[in-house]
Amino acid sequence: MSSAAPTRDQNLDLLRAVAVLSVVLYHLLQWSPLDPLWLDRLARYGAYGVDLFFILSGFLIGSIYWREERDTGRVQLMRFLKRRWLRTIPPYIGALLLAWGAVWYARGEAFDWRYLFFLQNYGSELPFFLVSWSLCVEEHFYLVVPLLMGLTRTFKPVRPFLLAIGVIAPLLLRAHDASIGSVAPFGFYHTATHLHFEGLTLGLALAWLNAYRPDLWTMARRAARWLVIPLLALCWIGTSGSREINYVLMPSLVASLFGALLLAVAGRRPIAGRAFAAPVRTVAITSYSVYLVHPLMIHIGNIVNQRIGFIGDGLTLFVVWPLLIVGFGYAFYYVVERGSLALRDLWAPSVFAGGGLEHPLARANEVNADHPIAEEIGHAARINPSATIV
């Protein structure tokens, strides 16, 4: 049996890189002193990078879960949860301490205990570390889904219905909020988990098709090619609607678009080409760290610009901020994130490691366009930075 690390899907790496760059650009433009209308519109689109992360995270966690269940007959729940927690929580705690330390130093901000339990996304507003709301959604999802799927292991026919409910329910809940006039610009109604988990569920559902129904997976992939452009048009139209319509429909429309995009590109020949493979991979594997620390770097760059004075606005935007984000994000990845991966693989080694189950695609020279790709998601026991991204 081969113990080689599984092959990465370069197109999923590309989507992950696009997601993190979109979010970073969104926040850079929010803080930019430049204020033309087209820039504001561009910044608004960048916010949807979080929704792309949700699709990718749902597909990743689903691929790992369904593959273990399919190939071993059951999922070792505590091992599964420990691997998720050790993968995501230590970097989160590190970034949280940095963010709180900064606001405590700047304005004497007291620590909010909700951040220790991923409950800050249920407050009316987030006092600091605003990007952490999406991590709350993902951690809640990572906890509930394995428990729910474990309870249905002996009655698997119910799972497609549960997945369908998970995709539709947030839209209905947002529609209810809009009907009673509860929509606010930002806060609880845009960050609460039960209002924003359809992308994660859709990614989970696609991973289920990939693992258990390769016939339907192949059909869905073919259909997705024809759905991307119409869904993109609907999303563009949706951004011009009222605040209520935007609030209710856009998360579901965007999740559908990104789900179709994942279907259309996953497992196919790399889109970016060999020349861009290495930089795309680097951005992808460091995306979690960059996502965690980039707001703090933007604030630091802004303070430097205000206090030193000789750094021009354009230089701050196009040179200082990106350099801070790239430099500190990369350092955070190597010092904190890779350390947490080492602990994960030491304390909760994968059931697929050490000559366990074979990775069929690890031997392949090329990715078969119609082959299920659940085997490609990383279970390597050794620290392999190219196979351990959220």
Question: Residue 351, Cα to own-chain centre: how many angstroms?
Answer: 24
CA atoms of 207 and 224, how far apart (whole Å): 15
CA atoms of 290 and 284, how far apart (whole Å): 10
Supply the pTM of this predicted model. Answer: 0.88
Q: How far is CA 278 from CA 22, 46, 284, in A?
A: 19, 23, 10
CA atoms of 141 and 37, how far apart (whole Å): 36
Please name the residues in contact with 92: beta carbons below 8 A apart, sequence gap of 6 or more. Answer: 132, 135, 292
pLDDT in tens, the chain (390 residues): 334 444 689 999 999 999 999 999 999 888 877 666 666 677 778 999 999 999 999 999 999 999 999 999 999 999 999 999 999 999 999 999 999 999 999 999 999 999 999 999 999 889 999 999 999 999 999 999 999 999 998 899 999 999 999 999 999 999 999 888 777 777 899 999 999 999 999 999 999 999 999 999 999 999 999 999 999 999 999 888 788 888 999 999 999 999 999 999 999 999 988 889 999 999 999 999 999 999 999 999 888 777 776 556 566 677 888 999 999 999 999 999 999 999 999 999 987 653 333 333 333 333 333 334 433 333 332 323 333 333
Neighbours of 388 (CB within 10 A): 20
* 288 contacts 235 by C-beta, under 8 angstroms: no
Q: Please, where are the H alpha helices in 309-381? A: 313-315, 321-332, 338-347
CA atoms of 178 and 309, how far apart (whole Å): 45
Nearest to 200 by CA among 155, 267, 251, 150: 251
Q: Which residue has the tokens 């697929």?
A: 352
Domain residue limits, the chain? 10-387
